[in-house]
Structure 1
Amino acid sequence: MSIEFTTQSLALDGPGAPVVLVELQHDLPVVGSDFFIVQFVRGLTAPDSVIVVRDALRFPLAMIDQSAAYKLLAFKISDGIADGVWWVDDYVYDENQVNISFKSSGDAAGSGDPGAFTGSVRVADQPAARNVIATALDADPPYQLARAVSDAGNGQYTLEWQGYSGQMLITVFDEYGVAHVNGEARGAGERVHPTQYNGYTYHVVQSGTLGAEPAWPTTADETVWSGTVQLIAVPFYRPVSEGPFIV
């Protein structure tokens, strides 16, 4: 199974955004520059994704079927993809709802028969290294079943686990990098992200020591300096999911 990584970046509300937005106050543990990717899963269809920033879950009403029940899965982005899954069972749109509460679970080691799933990731029709996570949808509670990083040379990955059978959702995530910290040394090839999410991450092109947080450019390929480190703006791309698959 091959996953073609999208070129659509995750952005805050902006020009062209739908007029009708649903806004729900949530209890996800957002701290500092952390944010969550939330997926709306309905039956055997690939989910839509939105970002949760700071205090609210916002999404265009037109994105969902207002009469359908969804399982919401949330992944925390904090200097990489944090362990665990947050979820909501059977979310149905209610125009009077103002709050939403998520449950949480960590990874599960599992025991029993081993399982494996192999696939590949491509970006602009080229193999790429990306974070790949499998979520056990039929588990109670759902949890991160397995994770891997696809190979930069051929795009291939193998997910391995023990003791699970049922529906599995596979999601490919872009690399968010580490938070900007004044005085830290960073090497060429690393990624640094701002303390406040802006839809971009910054690729180090000249090694050095970070200085004060700069005014981050939000145009792809524009460069910026922080201390003696030179960085280039790279869009943080929307996650791509495939499945659910029966394993």
Structure 2
Amino acid sequence: MLSGPEALVRAIVVRDDSLLLALSGLDQSLSYKIIASRVDGGFQPGLWWIDDFVYDPGQLNLVFSSRGQSAGSGHQQTFTGLTTVNKSPVSRTVMAIAIDGDEPVFLAQTQSSETTGQYTLQWQGYTGQILVTALDDYGVPHVAGATHGVGERVHPATPNGFVYQISVAGQLGMEPVWPTSAGALVMSGSCQLVAVPFYRPKTVGPVVV
């Protein structure tokens, strides 16, 4: 996610080993804090960040600082909310990041209820400003020959705005032509999959707790 002046916060899922940002989305006269956390594999858990990032067309590499999750101490703190899409409850991975102090701290992570959308994040000690981010399930890459059960998700090699949830368990075949309408069915090997829109992560904050 990017955080900058005037509580500008954007959350982005990086699906491969590169990230392209349109310059129109950055105010090149301002500095930003970039905070990265692992969604599913890719690099070590915890937080990675850059303080005071300013766009430089000649810069080839970005150097991140890092730290693991904080165990914390002191009184238990909580933050409760709902995850919804079009006012209907959905299940999402929800995480809280502390942003007061010299370094951001990964506080807590949980899964919201599929039936109510409710979640409660819990941690020890910290009070101050936090960012809360909700992440949709992007699933795993489609791999021919892989076995999957009902409810698991796979995503295509080329992102198309959808993920595909297994509705009939089995073994995947070659990557099919993916439908791009919600609820459409497709076969891959002996697996039947249903198209599900993939929603971008949503970050709220800073929130004071």
TM-score (norm 1): 0.74
Residue in structure 2 matched with residue 163 of structure 1 by the alignment:
125
Which of 78, 82, 105 pairs up with 1:116?
Answer: 78
Distance in 2 between residues matched to 1:233 and 1:140, nearest whole Å: 43
Distance in 1 between residues matched to 2:118 and 2:55, nearest whole Å: 38
Which of 223, 238, 244 pairs up with 2:185?
Answer: 223
What residue ranges of structure 1 are gaps of 5+ in the alignment?
A: 1-38
Shift of 1:182: 4.0
Give the number of the structure whose residues are more often strand, by fraction.
1
- Aligned residues: CA RMSD: 2.5
**Relative to 1, partners in 2 of residues 1:238 and 1:82: Cα closer, same or farther, differing over 3 Å?**
farther
- SS of equivalent to 1:215: coil
Residue in structure 2 matched with residue 30 of structure 1 by the alignment:
none
Shift of 1:200: 2.9
1:1-247 pair list within 5 angstroms: 39-43=1-5, 45-78=7-40, 83-194=45-156, 197-211=159-173, 213-217=174-178, 219-221=180-182, 222-247=184-209
**Relative to 1, partners in 2 of residues 1:44 and 1:171: Cα closer, same or farther, differing over 3 Å?**
farther
Letter in structure 1 aligned against 2:192: Q
What is the total number of aligned residue pairs between the two structures?
208
Shift of 1:43: 3.9
What residue ranges of structure 2 are gaps of 5+ in the alignment?
A: none
Deviation per CA, 1:102-139, whole angstroms, max 9, x where unpaired? Answer: 22222111112211111111111111111111011125
Distance in 2 between residues matched to 1:186 and 1:246, nearest whole Å: 42
- SS of equivalent to 2:108: strand
**Relative to 1, partners in 2 of residues 1:207 and 1:56: Cα closer, same or farther, differing over 3 Å?**
closer
Tell me: higher relative CO, structure 1 or 2? Use CA pairs within 8 A at least 6 residues apart: 1
Percentage identity across paired residues of the two chains:
44
- SS of equivalent to 1:59: coil
Distance in 2 between residues matched to 1:70 and 1:185, nearest whole Å: 42
Distance in 1 between residues matched to 2:150 and 2:116, nearest whole Å: 23
Shift of 1:100: 1.5
Letter in structure 2 aligned against 1:100: L
TM-score (norm 2): 0.86
Q: Which runs of 4+ in 1 moved over 6 A?
A: 79-82
**Relative to 1, partners in 2 of residues 1:131 and 1:223: Cα closer, same or farther, differing over 3 Å?**
same
